[in-house]
Amino acid sequence: MILSIESSCDDSSIAITEISSGKLLFHRKISQEATHSTYGGVVPEIASRLHAEELPKILYEAKKFLNDSFSPLKAIAVTTEPGLNITLIEGLMMAKALAFSLKLPIISVNHLKGHIYSLFINQIQSIFPLSVLLVSGGHTLIIEAKSPTQMSIIAKSMDDSFGESFDKVAKMLLLGYPGGPIVEKMAKLHAQDSKPQSTFNFPLPLKHSKDLAFSFSGLKNAVRLKVLEAQEQGINIQSDDFRGKICYEFQKTACDHLLTQLKKYFKTKKENGDFIKHFSIVGGASANIFLRDKIHDLCDTFGAKLLLAPLEFCSDNAAMIGRAALDKYNRKEFADIVTLQSSPKSTQGEFI
């Protein structure tokens, strides 16, 4: 069994994965969302302190699950990059202490690769080659994963990430954190209650650009201006009607932007005779059903099979870290316990 630890942002999580089957035997996650919600975003210092409080509680539960003995463990895995350095360190120090005392190898896992492995939790096979749209709070990327060790970034955001833009729009509308699920819910209610019309006409990002890239800061600013304008006109920005309209149109434009860029990607691949057989969306924002449906249609159009992780494993969790570590364990890719460091950015070489 492999015990895995995740603490790259605001989720404290530990999992135990069976090596022979890939089965997830134990998984526990304590989210800090409620605490950070009052600040409208993650406060790193608080997140770090909470990991120091929560991770030992979960480790205690994991030990109980193992009938009070860590002896079935064959390796300790931990997220070391990318993420918030002061939160990554909490998980890393726990992993090092465990690996040292239990005399076990340590496996360092890249969080983004972890998200890709969220597709393979509870199974021993993994599917490659695979094209991936990774949409999280920190990243918006198209990744081509030829194999577990050959992954390259094909496109990225020039500014804010997709998930982050949802968080910022939610903050403008005083809807709390994380913004993604709240904005999606407000947009859905609006679409159900009324026949949605384009009232604000938010601009489609990078509309005239030929480059394959993403950008969300212009859209975010367009929303900010509409909110300010409404306030000046005495409109209640906290009314369900106003919030619903903004959330619906923002989500639609943000998703249309992703879709426009993805269509470009699919088309170029097709023109080069390189058909995409398997496509996937991973990361916290891949839980967005509106986006899932749109990408489903796109995959149908281009004859690609869409792989999705169960909703519970889209956001940060240690189960995906354990599953990514399993492949590394089988390749005997262990890190040096003494020199292993955390890093806020992906180290060069993780994505070639």
**What is the Cα–Cα distance from 287 to 284, expressed in whole angstroms?**
6
CB of 324: closest distance to Zn ion in angstroms? 12
CA 220 to chain centroid, in Å, comes to 20
Contacting Zn ion (CB under 5 A), which of 7, 32, 118, 136?
136
Q: Looking at beta carbons only, is 7 or 136 nearer to Zn ion?
A: 136
By CB under 6 A, residue 179 contacts ligand KG4: yes
Alpha carbon separation from 60 to 53, 63, 103 (Å, rounded): 12, 5, 19
Does residue 187 contact residue 244 with C-beta atoms inside 8 Å? Answer: yes
Contacting ligand KG4 (CB under 6 A), which of 181, 191, 296, 333?
181
- HSE at residue 137, side-chain half, CA atoms within 13 A, is 21
x/- string (CB under 6 A) for ligand KG4, residues 285-314? x-xx--------------------------
CB of 172: closest distance to ligand KG4 in angstroms? 14
**What is the Cα–Cα distance from 36 to 43, expressed in whole angstroms?**
7
**What is the Cα–Cα distance from 173 to 227, expressed in whole angstroms?**
8
- HSE at residue 183, side-chain half, CA atoms within 13 A, is 33
Q: Looking at beta carbons only, is 65 or 290 nearer to ligand KG4?
A: 290
Closest CA to 139 of 284, 309, 313: 284
Q: Looking at beta carbons only, is 17 or 136 nearer to Zn ion?
A: 136
* Four-residue CA torsion sign, 163, 165, 171, 173: negative
Of the candidate spans 24-32, 66-74, 180-188, 299-307, the one that interacts with ligand KG4 by CB under 6 A turns out to be 180-188
Alpha carbon separation from 130 to 37, 103, 142, 144, 276 (Å, rounded): 35, 36, 11, 6, 8
Q: Looking at beta carbons only, is 82 or 218 nearer to ligand KG4?
A: 82
- HSE at residue 240, side-chain half, CA atoms within 13 A, is 9
Contacting ligand KG4 (CB under 6 A), which of 91, 138, 205, 322?
138
x/- string (CB under 6 A) for ligand KG4, residues 251-290? --------------------------------xxx-xx--
Q: Looking at beta carbons only, is 73 or 247 nearer to ligand KG4?
A: 247
Of the candidate spans 69-77, 128-136, 242-250, 267-275, the one that interacts with Zn ion by CB under 5 A turns out to be 128-136
Q: Looking at beta carbons only, is 17 or 110 nearer to ligand KG4?
A: 110
Query: What are the residues binding Zn ion (CB under 5 A)?
Result: 136, 316
Query: What are the residues binding ligand KG4 (CB under 6 A)?
Result: 9, 136-138, 163-164, 166-167, 178-181, 184, 283-285, 287-288, 315-316
